[in-house]
A and B are shown apart, each in its own frame.
Chain A
């Protein structure tokens, strides 16, 4: 390839890239949807004050461990403001907060002879697994706590942690999005089973 051919090819490539970028922008433009194409804005984290809230904060940390309990030191449910899930009036758990803490502490005493706050991370997980069979609502609370972290309910910490980009304008132009070709035999001709 001579110098002229090189620049022609580069020029062509650049033009094609530019055109496709413009095409993508033009395609995206009619669908500007300001207000939700962004990651969650960090809101106010409820802070633990009472003994119940301190116990529940330790519960959060056992479910999705944070800097002090995850050996890798990354943020967890507490940093993702997940205490909000248990104490926010929009969720069904608020009225059960004291009951949760009491029962979890009781289970901790039964299993390991100490309050929940004094247990190791592994012991705390033991307690939480055991107690969910006694109080099935806790199973739901665990799910809500995990979902709040990994779903970015209060901030984007969990989204970034798993590499989930979250809100977006669509991936159809992203090369990795699809194989864009048949990859398997199909059973039906028209997509309808007889």
Chain B
């Protein structure tokens, strides 16, 4: 059987970053990615499901209320992220849940994370957008806050010379948005790391103090490979699923694997602007529309950013009006509403905040992934707080807040976290502060599954910085 020092499952932030750092330390590394290698031509400007299905694996919750997806392809979620890369505010690391449990390990603070944030920013070439890069709907959102005497900050991106076509989340067809295939992955490959694509991992088995990873290769042939160390970084949905499918071979699996699924506090909504305001053109420009407001962070622990979004996404949401607009997203009223409002008077927005992870990932008898993200009373209260903030912005601008979701819960669908979280409490957190899965030897979790709670902002930079931190520990650099 083939053998490597380290086998890594998944090539997103949690996989490719350790792949580079471990390769730099002289380790023989193999990365298995279930999706294909991509080129800019792999990213059609197409929001239709059949095109999206090539870029994402999509799951719906058992009650069909929530859709979650993760990126497929070498580079994982970085291929199709909106690319806002922001440091989580300090308070994120102090967050305590409903049981007064500090979800981040005491040894992981913003100060500890700063050098690792800097490493990812440097490697990914993250920079602040200029005002000329802020699309119109982002600019109008900032003007709305300005009118309230509030602030909005330009966002940080690894995007340079952006063409502003509005298809970031389909993958950048112009190669302007940097993903892991532009930096970490080629650097790791240069050092000898192997990245195998179209390889679907089924489960893992103990092999002495190491591990065997069982997977199907691009031709569908069953394969096995040994790793002295194993890193699972297949995303917050698939990482616990791989482990849960492995129970037969890892019977003493930590009982919290798959628990604590956190939606990062994502709540999508829209602002409907009065005709007197400038036209929004929400299809022009990068999908994360250039600015974010921290103005409500101090009081509510909520950030909000506008999104340049195509009508396919806007119309797919269960949008409803609390005033004189459509009450249900069906029929003539809704059709006319989208036509009359979309191109000129709507600003899609996403609130992100701190919530408890109350969802669960499981696998069924066939080994297929399932998840639940219940609309708990706590989550409802949080969503109502988001709505209150949104209404205050709308009211100050003679605009209307349009809520989304069948039960006022439209999940942002892109930021699942926490299903194999790190933490100090052995019974609550499957992983220790360095991502080591408790009860196992030489098995680490380094992706969004390890990030123990909401990040207050888009989480990719924090996932990457946490992976850098764990990788530094693995190569003996401490942290």
Whether B163 pairs with A144 at a CB distance below 8 angstroms is: no
Whether A177 pairs with B331 at a CB distance below 8 angstroms is: no
Whether B339 pairs with A161 at a CB distance below 8 angstroms is: yes
Residues of B within 8 A of A114 (CB): none
Q: Does A136 contact B (CB under 8 A)?
A: yes
**CB-based A-B contact count at 8 angstroms:** 215
B-side interface size class: 35 or more
Given contacts A33-B173, A136-B65, A150-B315, contact A69 B343 (CB under 8 A): no
Q: Does A5 contact B (CB under 8 A)?
A: no
Whether B131 pairs with A181 at a CB distance below 8 angstroms is: yes
Interface stretch of the complex, out of B100-108, B154-162, B231-239, B443-451? B154-162
Whether A172 pairs with B152 at a CB distance below 8 angstroms is: no
The distance from the CB of B120 to the nearest CB of chain A, in whole angstroms, is 13
Whether B163 pairs with A177 at a CB distance below 8 angstroms is: no
**Given the complex of chains A and B, what is the CA–CA distance between A36 and B173 in angstroms?**
9
**Given the complex of chains A and B, what is the CA–CA distance between A136 and B405 in angstroms?**
13
Residues of A within 8 A of B314 (CB): 150
Whether A76 pairs with B335 at a CB distance below 8 angstroms is: yes
The distance from the CB of A18 to the nearest CB of chain B, in whole angstroms, is 22
Q: State which of B47, B128, B329 has its C-beta within 8 Å of the C-beta of A152.
A: B47
Q: State which of A170, A181, A182 has its C-beta within 8 Å of the C-beta of B174.
A: A170
**Given the complex of chains A and B, what is the CA–CA distance between A153 and B59 in angstroms?**
20
Whether A178 pairs with B139 at a CB distance below 8 angstroms is: yes
Whether B330 pairs with A142 at a CB distance below 8 angstroms is: yes
Given contacts A33-B174, A185-B146, contact A169 B163 (CB under 8 A): yes
**Given the complex of chains A and B, what is the CA–CA distance between A140 and B318 in angstroms?**
10
**Given the complex of chains A and B, what is the CA–CA distance between A132 and B135 in angstroms?**
37
**Given the complex of chains A and B, what is the CA–CA distance between A129 and B64 in angstroms?**
15
The digit string for A8-42, where 1 denotes a CB below 8 A from any CB of B, is 00000000000000000000000101011100100
Interface stretch of the complex, out of B37-45, B216-224, B262-270, B348-356? B37-45
Given contacts A65-B335, A125-B328, contact A193 B297 (CB under 8 A): yes
Whether A139 pairs with B65 at a CB distance below 8 angstroms is: yes
Residues of B within 8 A of A169 (CB): 163, 165
The distance from the CB of A75 to the nearest CB of chain B, in whole angstroms, is 10
Residues of A within 8 A of B162 (CB): 170, 172
Q: Does A188 contact B (CB under 8 A)?
A: yes
Whether B49 pairs with A152 at a CB distance below 8 angstroms is: no
Q: Does B316 contact A (CB under 8 A)?
A: yes
Whether A62 pairs with B331 at a CB distance below 8 angstroms is: yes
Given contacts A33-B173, A128-B330, contact A193 B294 (CB under 8 A): yes
Q: Does A4 contact B (CB under 8 A)?
A: no
Q: State which of B86, B90, B311, B336 has its C-beta within 8 Å of the C-beta of A159.
A: B311
Give the 6 A-B residue pairs with the shortest CB-CB distance, closest first: A151-B312, A170-B163, A184-B142, A150-B315, A153-B48, A167-B45
Interface residues of A (CB under 8 A from B): 31, 33, 35-37, 40, 62-65, 69-72, 76, 85, 90-91, 121-122, 125, 128-129, 132, 136-137, 139-140, 142-144, 146-154, 158-159, 161-172, 174, 176-188, 190-194
Interface residues of B (CB under 8 A from A): 40-41, 44-50, 53, 60, 63-65, 67, 86-90, 110, 128, 131-136, 139, 142-143, 145-146, 151-156, 162-167, 173-174, 279, 281, 283-285, 291, 294-295, 297, 310-318, 328-332, 334-336, 338-339, 342-343, 406, 457
